[in-house]
Homo-oligomer: A and B are copies of this chain.
Amino acid sequence: MQTSFMKESLATPVIPKKTVYRLSIYQRCLQRLIENDVSTVSSESLAGVAGVKPTQLRKDLAHFGQFGTRGLGYNVKTLVEMIRDALGRNRLQPVVLVGAGNLGSALLRYSGFQKEGFEILAAFDIAAKRGEPRVDGVPIIPQHEMSEFVNEHDVRMAILAVPMNAAQGVVDQLVAAGVQAILNFSPTVVDVPDDVMVKNVDLAVELENLSYFVRN
């Protein structure tokens, strides 16, 4: 009873996780349409490039209201704005990266994050010394300064690329310092409170999983 009420509270109209995920994909596709000066798009063609069925796209959008024009399609700009709002973020979300090793440094140099409105404020590494040279403008800071930094800069998101056995410890610190969402590249499942979201990207698991689908 109470649960059902909470689920339907106006603040969060229960958007399925999978829908939220696809929204990010639609967003990326729409941005490319904008670059190509396309101003209107049908559910069929947008779904096509996003790799989903048109009905699914429409159902996904329906969670947020009515944005299309029947007989015509969707206005690209309107859609982009609506998804931006739906995903929250008045943009430029601050992020920290932990673990500036092999993979971590590559992620630091990866320009895709900035382009999508995230700013990596700093990278932390256990082996970093004061005065470490910046990588692509991002300072590399000794890890023991992490908690304070996260607190002070109101950082809510972190990218984790530390070795397996360090992961849980770092996560605990991050959570204690106020981080609410973690993109975890460390090859281990970490424990967090219910109100913290973790997305695991375990490269070896992904490959292993894929290998199931190759025929001999």
Contact = CB atoms under 8 A, between A and B. Distances in A.
Interface in A1-60: 20-21, 23-25, 27-29, 49-51
Interface residues of A, number: 58
B183 A112 contact: no
A72 interface: no
A175 interface: no
Given A211-B93, A213-B197, A214-B156, A204 B88 contact: no
Interface string A91-132: 001010000001101110110110111100000000000000
A214 B175 CA distance: 12
A63 to B, nearest CB: 12
A38 to B, nearest CB: 16
A180 interface: yes
B107 A105 contact: no
Contact of A28 (B27, B110, B187, B212): B187
A141 interface: no
A88 B212 contact: yes
Nearest to A86: B212
A214 B20 CA distance: 13
Interface in A187-208: 187-189, 197, 199, 201-208
A66 interface: no
Contact of A215 (B50, B180, B206, B213): B180
Given A102-B110, A106-B105, A189-B49, A28 B214 contact: no
Given A113-B204, A183-B203, A197-B213, 4 more contacts: A24-B208, A102-B106, A116-B208, A118-B211
Q: Which 3 A-B pairs have the closest CB atoms?
A: A106-B106, A112-B204, A197-B213
